[in-house]
Amino acid sequence: MDHSHESPAPTDAHDSHGHEPMDFAKTIRSYLKVGGVLIFGTILTVAVAYVPWMQFGVHWADTTLGLLIATVKVSFVCLLFMHLNHERGLVYKVLLFTMIFSAAMMFLFVLAYLDPIKHAILD
């Protein structure tokens, strides 16, 4: 599919911020590498879930490792696919608030679970 005869000239073919000209082949290669890392991470997650951690006395290992690997994978997606490794300030501000509110929400859930008010009254 060669559309070069009708394609607009890539004169402004820069990365998302228009500073560096984009090396297409190199960019695609880097995306493929990230894809490879994600696939490897997925295989690792499945493998980790089938290790009999109980035998080694670390029953919490599968959950911890599973979520840790997932977090690493998510970081790769966020930083490289969603370009958060070179985004503008406003985006980070929005995400900072998201983090704060998410943490606050989790904290509320934990509070609801521990139910300190009930315990304060009953004790």
Partner 1 sequence: MEIPYTVTARPDTGLYNAKVGIWLFLASEVMLFGGLFSSYVFLRIGSDFQWPFHELTVLPGFINTMVLIISSVTVVSAWAALKARRYGWYQINMIITLLCALAFMGIKSFEYAGKFSHYSVIMHDGTVLDGHPVHESEGTNGDKIAFSGVQSFSVKLDKSTTKFMRHRRINAGAGQPFAKADGQTVRVRTPSGVEAEFTESWLKDLKKKFREIENTRSDLATLRARVEAPRIRVEDMKRAVTGNFPVPFDAAKADTLLAKHASLKADAAPEIAELEQKIAEFGKSEAYKDATAAVLKLEVVGDPLTFVLNERDFGKYNAGEVIFRDDVVLTGQVQGDKIPLMADLIDLRDVKDPEKSLAWKYYPDLKEEFFKHRDEATAAFLQKKPQHANDYEENADWKRAALRVSVDKLAPPEVAKALMKDPAKAVGIERSDKRFYSNFSPSRSPYYSIYFLMTGLHGLHVIGGALVLGYFLFTGRKMYLSNPEHLANRVEVGGLFWHFVDLVWIFLFPVFYLL
Does 114 bind partner 1 (CB under 8 A)? Our answer is: no
| 117 binds partner 1, rule: CB under 8 A | no
Q: Out of 67, 111, 114, 117, which residue is the one contacting partner 1 (CB under 8 A)?
A: 67
Which value, in Å, is the radius of gyration of the alpha carbons in the chain? 23
- Residue that the structure tokens 């994600």 belong to: 38
Residues 23-42 that bind partner 1 (CB under 8 A): 24, 27-28, 31-32, 34-35, 38-39, 42
Quote the CA–CA distance of 93 and 99 in Å, as a whole number: 10
The correct pick among 88, 119, 121, 122 for binding partner 1 (CB under 8 A) is: 88
Count of chain residues binding partner 1 (CB under 8 A) = 59
**Number of separate helices (H) and strands (E) present in the chain:** 4, 0
A 10 A CB-CB count for 64 gives 12
Instruction: Identify the CA nearest to 37 among candidates 7, 79, 91, 76.
Output: 76
Q: Please give the Cα distance from 33 to 23 (Å, whole number).
A: 15
> Which residues are at the interface with partner 1 (CB under 8 A)?
1-3, 6-10, 12-18, 22, 24, 27-28, 31-32, 34-35, 38-39, 42, 45-46, 49, 52, 54-55, 62-63, 66-67, 69-70, 73-74, 77-78, 81-82, 88-91, 94-95, 97-98, 101-102, 105-106, 109, 112-113
